[in-house]
Amino acid sequence: TLAWDSAAKQEGCRGWADRVLDETTTGAYDLVVTSARNNLPALGQTMSTSYDAWYKGYRSVLRRWASAGVDVLVVRDTPAPGKTIGSVPDCLAQHEGDPRACSGPRDQWVPRDPLTAAADRLKSTHMRTVDLNNHFCTEERCDAVVGGVVVYVDGHHLSQTYAGTLAPYLEAPLTKAVDAATD
């Protein structure tokens, strides 16, 4: 459970998750595609101590899907520049003509992803993962502008244009997941 600012939000979030799991384990879906960004701490934790709780929660959900025979494609979380520069458009405006000034270190921008880790460690034939972060980052740096396209509309949401450039890289893993789910 996430530490929302009210018990009603915590209950609403948990209720929504339970309904989604109930609905998606009925056999009515060929494939579940999911991703997550952790912006709230786990209940009783801080952001820096929440990883294990997030991991256990995701592992529980993934196990339930796998036990129900649900095929799942987990898309790894994307880099988050807001951790070092805040808003990408604001940074680009301040550094007109020098988009590299708005890039950041991969080890700070690419978050640990407990959902992807849980899927990878589950070793289920129903689980697949895809990581597109090499289309944002080199081994050392992540960029705010790639191929002349602004990547973010703020500190973490992808621009529609950049998201569209990722489609060819998502096509093969998505097609493979759909094919496996419908065979």
Given this model, what pLDDT does residue 38 score? 83
Nearest to 68 by CA among 28, 19, 123: 28
Given this model, what pLDDT does residue 46 score? 79
Burial 134-166 (b: 16+ CB within 10 A, else e): ebbbeeeebbbbbeeebbbeebbebbeebeeeb
Strand 141-142 versus strand 145-146 pairing type: unpaired
Given this model, what pLDDT does residue 10 score? 75
| pLDDT per residue rounded down to tens, the chain (183 residues) | 666 667 787 777 778 888 999 999 999 999 999 999 888 777 787 778 888 888 999 999 999 999 999 999 999 999 999 888 989 999 999 999 999 999 999 999 998 999 999 999 998 999 999 999 999 999 999 999 999 999 999 999 999 999 999 999 999 999 999 999 998
Given this model, what pLDDT does residue 5 score? 65
Strand 104-105 versus strand 149-150 pairing type: unpaired
